[in-house]
Chain A
Amino acid sequence: MSLIEIKNVFYQYNETKKAVNGVSFDVKQGDYVTIIGHNGSGKSTLAKLIAGLLPVKSGQILIDGKEVNEENIASIRTRLGIVFQNPDNQFIGSTVKDDIAFGLENKLVPSENMDAIINEFAKKVGLEAFLNYEPQNLSGGQKQRVAIAGILAMKPDIIIFDEATSMLDPKGKKEIKQLMYDLASGDDITIISITHDIEEVLQSDDCIVLNKGKLFMHDKPENIFMHAEKLREIDLDVPFIEKVRETFGKHKIKLKAQDLKGMVDELCRSSSKR
């Protein structure tokens, strides 16, 4: 059974343009799903609709069979967390530990249990030494890790990353992406990552491509990138490895490997045979 079911969902901010236009797809429990598309394609709107931060105008979003609506939103939010793009705009507490505690306070966790939970999840994101730090004294990557710890502390089944790495420097990007991969592989957490990072898409189980609010493609990443021309039509790029495969393909050399090292080995083997 799918954990998230999106059924023919529509949303529009104004009367002229539909931000999300009849989108339908399912997400299985424990999957790592990436959503890509150019700016204005409806990715972030879709994330907010799933999190119940915007009301669905028409269609239906179900999480574990429960419809995302005003009636169910409180119980759904205990199972779902969202990490936003700008780390500065989601820091609520005046220190790291106060920020992690914010969600716990809303979840009515008793005060005496909070320190243990805060320490556990600060350790999980590698911030146990920064618990008393103020937000302005942290790097972008560290701030995003605090946001993730705050969400993990609420023990959600689903985490949505809304371009969570786009405002970070390369080091911060690497840290957060690694944390996302660890979460996707280690726990039974379902991850939906909205991203412009094509390399990240390759790590996901499933990829959804949006274009002008509509579902453009939905498949395994390797199948999506086979249609490089189709992606380029909507101004999306393909990963470096697919560009290499495409270039060799033009010279009638077909490479099947899914990573760069595999491709190099494949090429070495074929050249030694010749």
Chain B
Amino acid sequence: MTYSTNPITSLELTLPNELGYELVARDAVAAFARRLGMSLDQIDDLKTALCEACINAIEHGNSLKPDLRVEISCRVEDERLVIEVCDEGVCPFAPKSEPLSIMEKLAGLGSLRGMGLMLISQLCDESGFVSRNGTGNCFRLAFQRRHVTRLGR
């Protein structure tokens, strides 16, 4: 594929509120990140973090309601790729301050779920909820772009 010399620096997607569609977002945003020249390792991190943010929006923010939507916007800011995942906010997403460790989960102290935000925070350079005009939760993920090293150029 020949890419444009005038690079596209933003991408918007709207997803149905159904589990599984996070994979559509994952594949689209991964393709966008590849066009930006990001490394494969970083794209793997991005894919997992984005899926977790989408799952939170679908399951928690939009409470699995099929008539709602999840909006995703990606834009390049200097050397960062910034992604926002926004739901329609049937429920304000209010995670517990500290997720349980695996040891606590194995001891039966809480749900086995609830590791998504922890994963996101470890995989991204920056992550967290941001304020938004109107209703809904908006979660921002940012990656400092680490480019693929092209030998011999």
- Do A and B come from the same complex? no
Residues of A within 8 A of B (CB): none
